[in-house]
Amino acid sequence: MPEPALLRILIIEDNPDDGALLEHELRRAGVGAVCMPVPDERSFLAAISPAPDLILAGCRTPGFGALAALRLLRQRGHDVPVIVVISTLGDEDAVECLSEGASDYLRKDSLGRLGLAVRNAVEQARLRRQERGEHRLLQAVVDGAAAAIYVKDIEGRFLLVNRRFEALLGMHSGEIVGRHAAELYPQEVLEQLRPHELAALASRSAVEHEVRLGEGAGMRTYLSVCFPLADLDGAFHAVCGIATDISDAKRLEAQLRQAQKMEAVGQLAGSVAHDFNNLLTVILGYSQLLAGRLVDQPGLFHILDEVRKAGERAAALTRQLLAFSRNQVLLPQLVDLNAVVAEVETMLRRLIGENVELVITLRAQSGRAMVDPGQVEQVILNLALNARDAMSNGGALILETDDVELDAVYLQRHPYARAGPHVVIAVSDTGQGMDAETRSHIFEPFFTTKEKGKGTGLGLSTVYGIVRQSGGHIEVYSEPGQGSTFRVYFPRVVAVAARPAIPALVVAAPRAGSETILLLEDEESVRALVSHLLTSAGYTVLESGSSTDTVAVAERHPGPIHLVLSDVIMPGMSGPEVAARIVATRPETRVLFTSGYTANLVDRKSLRVAHFLEKPFTAAQVLTTVREVLDAPLPGGDARG
Ligand SMILES: Nc1ncnc2c1ncn2[C@@H]1O[C@H](COP(=O)(O)OP(=O)(O)OP(=O)(O)O)[C@@H](O)[C@H]1O
Ligand SMILES: [Mg+2]
């Protein structure tokens, strides 16, 4: 066992004999100590820091004595135990010294208890120090917490608060502790909190609830937990409240829910549109075939023509749904968005009518983005049409472009956005605006507030899909009666040489041919239709419904294969992968992809150089495109898909 450390004891005695007597008694009682006489105030003050373990002081010393020492200790905030040695008839002195903070007293003529008294006083002081340490630790933890914490007694008076709570009230703890909550809070805040505190006390368990504090834009939401505190006897004498600011988490949660909803609706719309597209392809394809045979029967031809028209309307609707679900074919090019806006200006002027003023401000220095310009026009048009509809009594439509740099701070509030340079197109109107409820639904397909027949509710969902598929995002600011601003952000392309746009294919090719075409399409009815079309036009068709099969068919076929006509998305190997395999061994083979449903999985580069045929297609489109691809010069060794 380690030697107990020697106690450092100060002795205040003007008579050296008395001092020596005390030291002698200590030794006799087995108290290991280093004693130091401090006969006057000066030597006392010099000896109390660092603090000694104990002070033994005579009471009625003529110069410096116990009472003076006790007062000095208190003034300086020192907690050192003082044992007073009184004369035989000094009971009153003892009472005075105890009331001034002495730990104990002994009579000069019976010092036999000295050892015990010293050990007791030192132990008590040690416990007090330990308790102070624990309290300080607890206070530090409570102050460091990211929540506002308070303790109130049963009547509702504050016993303890932490820093966050001080900040929340804008007061110092000294102004809060001891006062009743009713003196500090407005009535409505009290009404939000007090019932839960009482419920916690009554149920003797924790009660959780949300509180909204503040006003207007400064309104914050707190998750508050109240629980009762019991004293050592188990009686509940206080209640503790811990309020955490959850406003940011709540906002992100709402954004996430909204994003998930849009994702789910998008998937649903996309898969319905995809299947529907295949059916329409079959309906439209066969109607055309049949139409060719009914030209000399006008009555039947007319009926069939109605079928075709309805089919085309359905196809247009499907295209909008595909746009929303971000699964339409985009042909991104490097374009200047200022130019795109300038391009639609004339059309907009005509569209919005005379009582709406059109204001265009192109602030973007470099409005360059990798987007499909036709689709961006569609975005602007849809937004402008909505703006016009919101301004039945006239107003202004304002189109602006600007450069913005989205940073981490922006991303915190808009987690779906990407950091970096963007071009923003803002479309504002001075129209009727929207309330929060309307705003939360506007991007959903088929959500409309317009009367029956006036709106399909697909305008903004199309916009949403196009923007997201282009790697951008859209935001809306609107209040009822205050107009609206839609901001569309596209990633800005920095310092890349502009490439010429891909020239549109010239449509004048003959439609028939005798080449061999390998057709890959997993949807059987579509495959049968295309095969029928191509065979009728004189081509030899090799058919396949699966990717692996197609590679085998190509390997087995002894003659040349002039064209692979393939769906993009296939179960297993994708269309482009199959095509690449075939082209690897047959470099003269050309590739044409068909799709209504391009996933982002497909490499954008191969998409841009690919020959494309969008579903649903007409018979004429299939035959013309096939012919064009077959007649186009074969790029030397490059990807030809
Ligand atoms: N600029 C705007 N001002 C006020 N409300 C708007 C504005 N833009 C959109 N809205 C609201 O959002 C709804 C959905 O718009 P969306 O473009 O998707 O469909 P729609 O305009 O009703 O029909 P569609 O565009 O298919 O003809 C509108 O019905 C309208 O309530
Ligand atoms: Mg609309």
Tens digits of residue pLDDT in 554-569:
999 999 999 999 987 6
**On the CB side of 241, how many CA atoms lie within 13 Å of its CA?**
29
- For residue 171, give the 3-state DSSP assignment: coil
Ligand whose nearest atom lies closest to the CA of 486? 1
- Tell me which DSSP letter residue 232 carries: T
The span from the CA of 204 to the CA of 464, in Å, is: 51
Per-residue confidence (pLDDT) for residue 589, from 0 to 100: 92
User: Above pLDDT 70, what percent of the chain?
Assistant: 91
Q: How far is the CA of 457 from the centre of ligand 2 (A)?
A: 6
User: Above pLDDT 90, what percent of the chain?
Assistant: 42
Ligand 1, from 443, 450, 460: best to mutate by most atoms within 8 Å of Cβ?
A: 460
> DSSP for 517-540?
EEEE-SSHHHHHHHHHHHHHTT-E
Q: Could you tell me the maximum CA-CA distance found in the chain, to the nearest angstrom?
A: 143
- What does the pLDDT average to over 374-381? 90
Q: How far is the CA of 383 from the centre of ligand 2 (A)?
A: 7
Ligand whose nearest atom lies closest to the CA of 462? 1
Per-residue confidence (pLDDT) for residue 509, from 0 to 100: 41
Specify the range with the lowest mean pLDDT, choosing from 137-146, 180-189, 499-508: 499-508
Query: Ligand 1: which residues within 6 Å by Cβ?
Result: 382, 386-387, 390, 429, 431-434, 438, 442, 447-450, 455-461, 484
**Whose Cα sits closest to atom 17 in ligand 1?**
459
Specify the range with the lowest mean pLDDT, choosing from 173-177, 197-201, 529-533: 529-533
Question: Residue 540: which of 566, 560, 524, 556 has the closest Cα?
Answer: 560
Per-residue confidence (pLDDT) for residue 602, from 0 to 100: 39
Per-residue confidence (pLDDT) for residue 327, from 0 to 100: 67
Confidence of residue 175 (pLDDT cuts 50, 70, 90): very high
**Whose Cα sits closest to atom 6 in ligand 1?**
386
Confidence of residue 635 (pLDDT cuts 50, 70, 90): low
**Whose Cα sits closest to atom 19 in ligand 1?**
457
**Whose Cα sits closest to atom 31 in ligand 1?**
449
Per-residue confidence (pLDDT) for residue 615, from 0 to 100: 61
Q: Is the pLDDT of residue 145 over 80?
A: yes
Instruction: Write down the mean pLDDT value for the chain.
Output: 85
The span from the CA of 600 to the CA of 327, in Å, is: 8
- What does the pLDDT average to over 499-513? 47
